């Protein structure tokens, strides 16, 4: 299992660059360069994730609405879950355990 961070400054300018994110949040997982996650300049990864998994809100559609939205991708590279800001960490943990218990496809 790997956690990857993609800083985005589209949410009230809260994030800054990847170095600032690592320092500010004491994050010890890999951070990539800052990307857009919404709009016409959205990174292709986030276009794919949003198209693959429903989420977002009735008001904003599939748009990512918060810096710390999370996507769970299985061992085969298939997005299987999306967690917004209101998700309980116990629910995220349950989803992780389910995926870790599954064998990878051959």
Contact 79, 71 (CB under 8 A): yes
Both tokens assigned to 43: 């990174």
pLDDT at position 18 is: 52
**Nearest to residue 77, comparing CAs of 42, 101, 52?**
52
CATH numbers and ranges of domains, the chain:
18-101 (3.40.30.10)
Both tokens assigned to 94: 């349950």
pLDDT at position 106 is: 59
Both tokens assigned to 46: 């986030």
Supply the pTM of this predicted model.
Answer: 0.78
pLDDT digits (tens, 9 = 90+) for 2-53: 888 888 888 876 655 555 555 555 667 777 888 999 999 999 999 999 989 8
pLDDT digits (tens, 9 = 90+) for 79-97: 999 988 777 889 989 999 9
For residues 8 and 32, what is the distance between their CA atoms, to the nearest angstrom?
10
For residues 105 and 11, what is the distance between their CA atoms, to the nearest angstrom?
37
């Amino acid at each position: 299992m790997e956690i990857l961070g993609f800083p985005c400054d589209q949410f009230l300018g809260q994030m800054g660059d990847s170095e600032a994110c690592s320092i500010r949040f004491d994050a010890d997982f890999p951070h990539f360069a800052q990307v857009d996650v919404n709009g016409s300049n959205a990174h292709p990864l986030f276009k794919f994730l949003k198209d693959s998994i429903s989420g977002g809100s009735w008001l904003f559609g599939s748009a990512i609405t918060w810096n710390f939205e999370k996507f769970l991708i299985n061992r085969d590279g298939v997005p299987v879950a999306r967690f917004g800001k209101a998700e309980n960490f116990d629910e995220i943990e349950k989803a992780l355990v389910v995926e870790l218990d599954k064998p990878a496809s051959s």
